[in-house]
Structure formats: structure tokens, C-alpha cells
Amino acid sequence: METHGGRDGRRGWLVVWILFINLAVIYGAWYSYAVFLVALVKEFAWSRSIVSGGFSLFVMVHGSLGPLSGWLAGRVGARRLILVGGCLVGIGLLLAAQVQAWWQLYLAFGVVTALGIGLSGWIPTVLITRGWFPERVGTAVGVVSAGIGVGIAGLVPLAQVLIEWCGWRWTYRILGILIAGWVVPATFFLVKDPPPEGPGTASGPAAIEGNAAAAAHWTLATAVRDGRFWALAGVFFSGNVATQMLLVHQVAYLVGHGVSPLAAAAVGTAVGLASIVGKMVWGAMSDRTGREVAYSLAFSCTAASVGALALAGAYPATLLPYLYGILMGLGYAGTAPLTPAAASDLFRGPGFSMIFGTLHFVLTIGAAAGSWGAGKFFDWTGSYALALVMGLIASLVAPALMWVAAPRRPHPPPARTG
């Protein structure tokens, strides 16, 4: 794998592995909300839609930063965003440990922590990784995004153990100190921004060659007038309706069907471990077979996981909950490396950061809709049955739209006028 401009490959890989650990601790806090949901419902007797609404606000605030994060990264550097965001994540989790009312949870986790993860998490990480490895975006992003799987596999069950040992308030405090204590110094000393991308810089296996490409590049204004942008936005939206709904509610679903909280958290470990493998496999595969094939295979696992979860509810004492975890991990893994790689294939150039940031905002609308909608369906019916149907439909729509977006056939950017 080559780094940008022939720079030292060891420097690029060091950056990738530091970002890998960053994502592990940052998104470990994100996905541990599934076990905090159970603890908060038990302590405060809030409805599931109220508690899952805190997560929905979190992903909406996080996602609304997408265009701004992309714009800022292009001007001050993605590394500086991570430094500021790491501090905010720690502050937000420490504030979450003090909540007494639902609106305080919304403010601490849904706003402050969300701002921190929005600035320190996925967008700046993708931009830095893509900059260091422009010719193998799928592979490099697949490796770095596997850190999220490590966070799910490690921090989610750790959070459950800590909740049982010292309570959810001290667990939030421990996570806040852990995350800020790693992300800020590690990023400051070991992460370096890649060189800026020029208008004609190619990206992805199907990048358009030739000097004519240097004369124009995609901007957000030109991208939104292209139908493939909206098809890809549909992929970002529907894929995260399915995956985030399952990830947020899987512990509550399993516990409600007779699985112990610790065993349900262990299913989260299975999700995380499977996603580590999936992200590396799907990312590398997509650099060879195309994003569409890899994404379709990944989401066939997501669709199958919905059926496995339904069966796990009927037979909780079997291995079906863990089968669900493996299938879900493999399916969810496709979202991390493949959607940014597809966006990079279609909309290369210095305007990519704004385009990707905007698509990321669409992603979080889907995540918010999936997590809140599942909680609302449960409050209305006392069951997750409708939520599972919603997840199945979304997991079929997402790969269909990836074929419509067709990143295997990128078009040249519109010529600049004037």
C-alpha cells in the first residue's frame, strides 16, 4: 500500500494505528449507550423512547457537525479537531455522570458528548487516513475503522461490568477520564495531518485519469446536483437506520426476552469482534471487486441478523443470540469502510471534506430515526416486532441504492466556468 506522495509508509501506518485506538475508545463510549439504556430505565423508570431519544439527539447533534467538521478540517486540519473533540468527550461523560433528569442526560450526552465525538471521531479520522493512503482508501479505512469493533467488543462489556461493580455514574466518570486521557496526548504527539489534496488527485481504484481531471473538481454545490449523490445519501441513511437501531436496542431486546444483562453485553462483544474481521475484509475486498459487491454481501449479513435476533427472542437459552452478534458484526462492518470509499470514488478532490461531511449528516439522520423509531414502536406496542421489520426493509434498500450510486463508474467532475 502506498502513502501519499511517496511519504514514509511507517509514518502513515503509525498514524493509522493511533487513529485505530482513538476510534476504539471514542466509539466504545458511543455503543456502550446500549447498556446504559438498561441501567437508566431501571433507575429512573423513564420510557424507552425517552432514553433512546437521548441517543437520537446525540446522533443528530453529532451528524449536524458533519458539514462544519469537513469545512474546518480543510482549513485548520483534522488533527486539531480531534484534540478539541477529545476534551469535549471527557467533559460530556463527566457531566452525564451527574444527571438527575432526562433533559440533563440530553444536554450532557446528547449535546456535549456528541459535539466531542463529532469533532474527534469519524470525519477527521477518514480525512487523515484517506490523505495518507489515497490509492487504497477501502483497505486503509477498513483497517482504521476496525478500531470501532475493538471498542464495541471491549468497552461495551467493560461498561456493563463497571455498572454492576460501581454503578453507572462512576462508569461514565471512568470512561470520560480514559477517553480524554488517551485521545488528547496520543493525537498531539503522534498524529500528523497528511499533505493537502490537489484538484487532480486521484482516489480509489476507478479514479479517472488524465490531465483533464486537474481542470475541475467536485464541490458540494456540484455534487448535490448529481443524482448519484442522492443515491449515495440514501445508502448512508438506510444503512444506518438498520444498523444503529439494532446496536442501540439489542441489549434491551435480549434482556426483555430472558437473556441476562451480562450475557447480552457479551453478545455486543461478538458484534465487535466480528466487525473487526468484517471491516478489514470488506474494505480490502472493495478495492478489488468494487464497493457494490462488498456492500451487498455485508448487508446480506445484516438482513440475516434481523432474522437471527427474532429467533433469539424465541429461543434465548440457545446460541442464537451469539449467531445474531456474529451476523450483525459482519453486516454492520460494511458501513464503515465502504461508504466513505464510495464517496471518495465518486467525489474526489479538495472539496471532498465538505461533501463527505454532508453525507455524514444524512447518515446520522438515519441513525437517529432508527434508534428513536425502535423505541417508539416498543412504547406503542410493547414489542420490537415492528422495529425488526423496519430494520429488515432498510437493510435491503441500502445495497440496492449502492448499485444505483455506482461508485465503480465515477463521472468526471463538471468543468469549471469563468
Q: What is the pLDDT of residue 213?
A: 43
Domain of residue 333 covers 8-193+219-405
- Calpha distance 258→269 (Å, rounded): 18
Number of domains in the chain: 1
- Calpha distance 113→92 (Å, rounded): 4
Structural domain includes residue 200: no
Q: What is the pLDDT of residue 338?
A: 92
Structural domain includes residue 50: yes
DSSP type of residue 109? I
Cβ neighbours of 292 (radius 10 Å): 20
Question: By C-alpha distance, which of 132, 136, 177 is closest to 6?
Answer: 132
- Domain of residue 351, CATH code: 1.20.1250.20
Structural domain includes residue 229: yes
Q: What is the pLDDT of residue 198?
A: 52
Q: What is the pLDDT of residue 417?
A: 53
Could you read off the pLDDT tens digit of each residue along the chain, which spans 418 residues? Answer: 445 444 456 788 899 999 999 999 998 888 888 889 889 988 998 887 888 888 878 878 887 888 888 888 878 889 999 999 999 999 999 999 999 999 999 999 999 999 999 999 888 999 899 888 877 778 888 889 888 888 878 888 899 899 999 999 999 999 999 999 999 999 999 998 886 665 444 444 434 344 444 456 899 999 999 999 999 999 999 999 999 899 888 988 999 999 888 788 788 888 888 988 998 899 889 989 999 999 999 999 999 999 999 999 899 889 999 999 999 999 999 988 999 999 999 998 888 888 998 998 898 889 888 988 898 899 899 999 999 999 999 999 999 999 999 999 988 887 665 4
Q: What is the pLDDT of residue 209?
A: 42
Structural domain includes residue 207: no
- Calpha distance 413→112 (Å, rounded): 38
Structural domain includes residue 76: yes
- Calpha distance 52→34 (Å, rounded): 9
Q: What is the pLDDT of residue 252?
A: 86
Structural domain includes residue 418: no
Q: What is the pLDDT of residue 208?
A: 38
Q: What is the pLDDT of residue 169?
A: 96
Q: Which residue has the cell 474494505?
A: 283
